[in-house]
Structure 1
Amino acid sequence: MAGGKETPRQKMIGMMYLVLTALLALNISKEVLNGFVKVENSLQNTQKTLKGKVSETLTTLEVKYAQNKEKVGPFMDKAREVRGESDQLVNYITQLKGRCMATSEGKYDDAVENDFLDFIGKDDSGMDTTMSLADIQKKDEYQELTAFMVGSEPQSPKFDENDPWSASALKQNLEAYRDYLKEIRLVDSQGNSRELPEYIKVQLDDRFSFPNEMEDGKEVLWEAANFFDVPLAAVMPLMSKMIIDVQDAQEDVLSWLLGGIEAKSYKFTDLKPLVVPESNYILRGDSFRADVLLAAYDATNAPDIFIDDQKWDGRDSAMLAYEGMEGMTIGADGMGKLRIPTRGMSLGEMNFKGLIRFQGPDGNIEPYPFLTPTITVAEPALVVSPTKMNVFYRGVPNPVEVSVPGVPQDKIDVRIDGGHSIKRQSDGSYIVEPANNSSIREANITVSAELPDGTKKTLPSKNFRVKRIPDPVAFWTGKKPSDKGITKAEVLSFAPVAARMEGFDFDVKVRVKSFTMRISKDGSFSDLASGNNRITADQKEALKRLRRGNIIYLEDILVSMPDGSERDLPPMKLKITG
Structure 2
Amino acid sequence: MAGGKLSPRQKMINLMYLVFIAMLAMNMSKEVLSAFGLMNEKLTEANSKATEKNTAGYETLAQKAAEQAKQYGEAKEKTDKLRVAADELYAYVGDLKSQMTNGLKDAKAYESMDKSKFLDELFFKGGKISAAGKEFVAKIEGFRDQAAQLLEGTEVADVVTTRFGTGAVTNKDGKKIDWLKYNYEGFPLIASLTKFTQIQADVKATESDALSALLQGELSKAVSMTNYQAMVVFEKNAYYPGEKLSGKIVLGRNDPNLTAEKVIVNDKEIESDKIQAGQVILDGPAGSVGDKELKGEFQFKEGDSLVSIPIVGGYSVIPKPNQAVISADKMNVVYRGLANPITISMPGVPANKVTASAAGLRRVKGDSYMMRPGKGNEVSIVVNGKLPDGKGVRSVKKFRIKDIPPAVGMVRGQYGTVKMPKASVARISVAAGLPDFLFDLKLNVSSFKIKVPGQVTVPVNGRTLTARAKQALGRARRNDVITIYDIKASVSGSNYKIRKVLPVNIEITN
Which category describes the TM-score, using the shorter chain as reference length?
Answer: 0.3 to 0.5
Larger radius of gyration: 1
Structure number with the higher strand fraction is 2
Q: TM-score, normalised by structure 2?
A: 0.36
